[in-house]
Amino acid sequence: MSVHTAEDSRKVTTHRLFEMKRRGEKIAMLTAYDYTMASILDRAGIDVLLVGDSASNVMAGNVTTLPMTLDQMIYHGVSVMRGVKRALVVVDMPFGTYQGNSKEAYSAAVRIMKETGADCIKLEGGEEILESVVRILKAGIPIMGHLGLTPQSINKFGTYAVRAKEEAEAKKLLSDAVLLEQAGCFAIVLEKIPAKLAGEVARTVKIPIISIGAGGEADGQVLVVHDMLGMNTTGFSPRFVRQYADVKSIIGDAVQHYVADVKSRNFPNEKEQY
C-alpha cells in the first residue's frame, strides 16, 4: 500500500485549502481530540484536523453530541494544538453556544480562538444561524460551515438517516451553502447527503466542500478517527466509513498479553527493573 506523507511541510491555511480546490487536489481531514493522536495524524500528512464535538461520543461515551460544553471543547482544542505543526486545526462550537444570541456566539468563538490557538471554528446550520456566522466572521474568525445531517439537531430530525433526499430539503441545502459562501465561510462540511447533491454544491460554490458520507465529488473527505482506525466499541458502522485498521483488536490483544504476563510473573523481567 502506498502511503501519502505531506511533501509540503508548510502550515495549511484556509487560503491553501482554497488553492487545493482550484487545482483539483483533494483535501484529507480527520477528527482528533488529544495531543498524542493529533501528533501522529499531523506527522502522517493530514491536511485538516477537526476537534469535533463527536468527542462527546468517542471520548466521553455519550449517545449524542449535545452534552459537550465550551470548556470541554477548549480542553480538547488546547491538547490537539500542542501536537500539531502543519495541519489546519478546526474546533467545533458546541451545542447551545451559537444558535441563540449572536453576541454570545461571538464571545464563545473568541474564547475558542484565544484559549486554544486553533485556526478556525465550525458551526452547524445555514440561514437559521446566519446572524451568528456574520458577527463571528466580522471579528476575523474563519468559519467552516456544516450542512446536511447536523448531529446537534438530532432531536429535531429524530433519525440519523440520509438527509436532503427530497427536493425541498435539497434546494434549501444548496441555498444555505451559497449563503454561507456569500457570508464569507471558507469551507463547508456536508454530512450524509446524496453524492449527486454534494457534487452539485461543490460545483456551485468556490469554497471547498468536505464530505462525510456525501460521496466522492466533494473537494475533500473527513472521517471520525476512531471509526476509520477500527476503535469503535459501539458497533456504529455506517457504509460511508472505510476502516483502515483494526486498532481495537490490536489493543485488546496487547492488553490480554500484558495481563497474562503480569499474572504469570513474566513481567517485569530482570532488565525491566532497577
Q: What is the C-alpha separation between 225 and 231, in angstroms, rounded?
A: 8
Q: Report the alpha-carbon angle 187-35-253, nearest 5.
A: 110
Residue 185 touches ligand KIV, criterion: CB under 6 A:
no
Per DSSP bridges, beta strands 143-148 and 220-223 are unpaired
- Residues 125 and 99 sit within 8 Å (Cβ to Cβ): yes
Q: Contact with ligand KIV (CB under 6 A): which of 52, 145, 148, 194?
A: 52
For ligand KIV, the closer CB: 236 or 267: 236
Over the window 106 to 145, marking each residue x when it contacts ligand KIV by CB under 6 A and - when it does not, the resulting string is ----------------------------------------
The residue range among 52-60, 100-108, 133-141, 154-162 that interacts with ligand KIV, by the rule CB under 6 A, is 52-60
Residue 189 touches ligand KIV, criterion: CB under 6 A:
yes
Cis before 268 (ω within 30): yes
- Residues 55 and 76 sit within 8 Å (Cβ to Cβ): yes
For ligand KIV, the closer CB: 59 or 134: 59
Three-state secondary structure call for residue 208: coil
Q: Which residue is listed with cell 441545502?
A: 173
For ligand KIV, the closer CB: 136 or 190: 190
* Residue 191 annotated in active site: yes
Residue 211 touches ligand KIV, criterion: CB under 6 A:
no
- Minimum CB separation from ligand KIV for residue 222, in Å? 5
- The amino acid at residue 7 is E
Active-site hit among 7, 181, 191, 200? 191
What is the footprint of ligand KIV within residues 83-102 (CB under 6 A)? 92
- Residues 211 and 221 sit within 8 Å (Cβ to Cβ): yes
Residue length, the chain? 274
For ligand KIV, the closer CB: 120 or 273: 120
Q: For ligand KIV, which residue has the nearest CB? A: 52
| HSE of 47, CA atoms in CB hemisphere, 13 A | 22
The DSSP element (H or E) to which 21 belongs, if any, is helix 14-23
For ligand KIV, the closer CB: 3 or 123: 123
Residue 224 touches ligand KIV, criterion: CB under 6 A:
yes
- Minimum CB separation from ligand KIV for residue 257, in Å? 32
Q: Which residue is listed with cell 485498521?
A: 245
Residue 227 touches ligand KIV, criterion: CB under 6 A:
no
- Residues 219 and 20 sit within 8 Å (Cβ to Cβ): yes
For ligand KIV, the closer CB: 168 or 212: 212
Q: What is the C-alpha separation between 80 and 33, in angstroms, rounded?
A: 6
Three-state secondary structure call for residue 35: helix
Residue 30 touches ligand KIV, criterion: CB under 6 A:
no
Residue 222 touches ligand KIV, criterion: CB under 6 A:
yes
Residue 47 touches ligand KIV, criterion: CB under 6 A:
no
Residues contributing to the site for ligand KIV (CB under 6 A): 31, 50, 52-54, 92, 146, 189, 191, 212, 222, 224
Q: State the catalytic residues.
A: 191
